[in-house]
Amino acid sequence: MNPSSPSVIGSLVLPQPYLLFLGDMTEPGYAKTAFGLRDWAPERCVGEYRLTPDTVSTGLPAMTSAEAYANGARALVIGVANPGGVIPAKWRASLVDALEAGLDIVSGMHARLADIPGLADTAALHQRRLIDVRVPPSAIPVATGAKRAGKRLLTVGTDCALGKKYTALAIHRALVARGVDATFRATGQTGIMIAGGGLPMDAIIADFEAGAAEILSPAAPADHWDIIEGQGSLFHPAYAGVSLGLLHGSQPDVIIVCHEPGREMMLGVPGYALPSIEEAIEANLMFGRRTNPAIRCGGISLNTAALDPAAAEAEIARVADRLGLPAADPVRGGPALDRLIEHSLA
């Protein structure tokens, strides 16, 4: 068996195509890896593997590991990211079955695949790989705070799992279509799987988070834009630390504040209400000025997936009018996204 592979800033080569494993996850917000791969790398996904009828679904064909292998899959990707990144004991039989069916296993969880009883021995027996994506490289430096050339846009949010990755990917795609020299910088396991490189910010020791953000987005030509995937939220009781380290280290020139209309409570922490968009703008600009005094808000990204087109358009217009900033749902695109990008580049 090959050792578990750390994700690096450069190339990350994964066995493809994928069978997306959803386990018994019933909260869509924790299945963002599967949804992200379905939406941004559909050509690499052949099907999904769910353990119960109540499990969330990507809408891809349901398959066992053996069926997926017969349909060309070469890896089972754990498509969920539950609190703490643990792999429950009740999943083990399914993971062993995947190895025996001929699939490698790719995981973005905090738990290491080789530490799961039975997996390492089975992988060795069948000459399969266990690949951990959420492993930072060694020797990450402490941040210097030194200003770097080039331009940077960071997506931030009022909460977790509401569109920071999708926003960064959509903006990057739109910039490239306009002929702008731009790079998507992945900071989470799903983004790394999509982009083929990056740094798993939430797996980095706190003292080195800002340093990791500095090396993730190095000095670049003056007209180059790094579009940096945000993590967590400054307001989240559990995940604010990674958000602040990323904000300080990335030194963004522009932030895009991401929000889901209708969401009232923080994901995974009952009793904590979401901040307003205004509060999120104010806090991110205040802390961001520490390393980039010229930081500004380029606009608002709204996740309107739960709204019909007319309601989404009305909500986007209402937020833009209230805040005096461009607002858009980057997945829906259209003129609203054009205005947000133009304001960000100005």
pLDDT of residue 138: 86
Q: Is the pLDDT of residue 6 over 90?
A: no
In the DSSP assignment, the letter for residue 259 is: E
Question: Is the pLDDT reported for residue 179 higher than 60?
Answer: yes
CATH code for 18-132? 3.40.50.720
For residues 182 and 151, what is the distance between their CA atoms, to the nearest angstrom?
A: 9
Query: How many beta carbons lie within 10 A of that of residue 293, not counting itself?
Result: 8
At 5 the pLDDT is: 35
Mean pLDDT score of the chain: 94
pLDDT at position 1, please? 31
Question: Is the pLDDT reported for residue 83 higher than 90?
Answer: no
Sign of CA dihedral 172, 142, 160, 85: positive
**pLDDT exceeds cutoff 80 at 93:** yes
Question: In this model, does residue 175 exceed pLDDT 90?
Answer: yes
- The per-residue b/e assignment along 243-281, b for 16 or more CB within 10 angstroms, e otherwise, is bbbbbbbbbbbbbbbbbbbebeebbbeeeeebbebeebb
* Residues 20-31 as b or e (16 or more Cβ within 10 Å = b): bbbbbbeeebbb
Query: Each residue of 117-141: pLDDT tens digit?
Result: 999 999 999 999 999 999 998 889 9
Question: What is the spatial distance between Cα 303 and Cα 42, in angstroms, rounded to a whole number?
Answer: 20
**Which pTM value belongs to this model?**
0.91
CA–CA gap between residue 173 and residue 180 (Å, rounded): 10
Question: Is the pLDDT score of 114 beyond 60?
Answer: yes
As a whole number, mean pLDDT of residues 217-230 equals 97
pLDDT band, very low/low/confident/very high, at 85 (cuts 50, 70, 90): confident
Mind listing the pLDDT tens digit for each residue in 27-51? Answer: 998 999 999 999 999 999 999 999 9
| Nearest in space to 244 (alpha carbons), one of 199, 284, 205, 214 | 284
d(CA 23, CA 54): 10
Q: Among residues of the chain, what percentage have pLDDT more than 90?
A: 91
Distance, in Å, from the CA atom of 248 to the CA atom of 154, rounded to the nearest integer, reads 11
Residue-level pLDDT at 45: 97
Same CATH topology for 18-132 and 151-345: the answer is yes
When pLDDT is averaged across residues 254-272 and rounded to a whole number, the result is 96
Give the fold, CATH level 3, of 151-345. Answer: Rossmann fold (3.40.50)
pLDDT at position 7 is 38
Domain boundaries, the chain: 18-132, 151-345
Q: Answer whether residue 4 shows pLDDT above 60.
A: no
